[in-house]
Structure formats: structure tokens, C-alpha cells
């Protein structure tokens, strides 16, 4: 995995570059957050395919655990993907509420992330 740091003018983003899953565990998420924060990034941008399928099944608790760590450590996370295909009502509600609060964002593109942050 490579982390590209992108300066948007007001915010530095840590954009994860990998074709594979990089946030398979809570510890993976913490490690990425700490490395990015140390480098001065205000938010981590990850892509949908960089999470295991279990992340998007709220019954597993993985999403809740990872997102709780980001909140605890005052981190921001943007997950970029196509979330229009989600059929789970609870996951749709979770995404909508996360986007409303703004600490964790589920967006369609990096450009959307730059505008929101």
C-alpha cells in the first residue's frame, strides 16, 4: 500500500493507493490513521474495494469498530465508492447519518471529498 498526500489548499488528504484490501482489521485502520496524522493529513481517503466485504455488513461490527476508532482519535475518513447499489436499509441509514455528521463520509469521488472537506 502507498499513501499519496494531496494538498487541497485548506486540507491535506492521505489518499490510500492499493488494489487490495488494506483495512481488514481495526488495527490496520488505526495504523493508517496514525501514519497519516503523523504526516500532517487531516483526513484519510480510502476506496470501497480497500475494505473487506464484512465492513459493509453491519452485523459483523467491523465498520462500527473502525469508525469508532476514527472518532476516538479525532480522525476523519472518506470512503469513496458507488453506494447507490446498496440494498441494505440499515446500511443506507448508516451512510446517510455518517454523511450528515461529517466525520466519516461515504462519497462517490475524491472531488466530492475535496469539496466537502
Residues of the domain holding 66: 2-116
CATH code for the domain of 66: 3.30.750
Is residue 63 left, alpha or beta, with left meaning phi > 0 and alpha meaning psi from -120 to 50? Answer: alpha
| Per-residue confidence (pLDDT) for residue 81, from 0 to 100 | 95
Angle, CA 107 vertex, CA 23 and CA 14 arms, to 5°: 50
Asked if the model's pLDDT at residue 87 lies above 90, the reply is no
pTM equals 0.92
Number of domains the chain is built from: 1
Q: How confident is the model at residue 53 (pLDDT cuts 50, 70, 90)?
A: very high
| Per-residue confidence (pLDDT) for residue 9, from 0 to 100 | 81
Asked if the model's pLDDT at residue 45 lies above 90, the reply is yes
Amino acid at each position: 500500500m502507498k499513501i499519496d498526500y494531496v494538498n487541497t489548499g485548506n486540507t491535506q488528504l492521505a489518499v490510500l493507493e492499493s488494489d487490495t484490501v488494506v483495512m481488514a482489521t481495526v488495527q490496520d485502520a488505526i495504523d493508517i490513521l496514525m501514519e497519516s496524522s503523523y504526516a500532517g493529513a487531516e483526513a484519510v481517503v480510502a476506496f470501497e474495494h480497500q475494505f473487506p466485504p464484512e465492513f459493509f455488513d453491519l452485523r459483523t461490527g467491523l465498520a462500527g469498530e473502525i469508525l469508532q476508532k476514527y472518532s476516538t482519535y479525532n480522525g476523519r475518513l472518506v470512503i469513496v465508492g458507488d453506494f447507490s447499489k446498496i440494498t441494505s436499509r440499515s446500511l443506507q441509514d448508516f451512510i446517510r447519518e455518517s454523511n450528515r455528521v461529517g466525520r466519516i463520509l461515504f462519497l462517490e469521488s475524491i472531488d466530492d471529498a475535496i469539496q466537502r472537506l
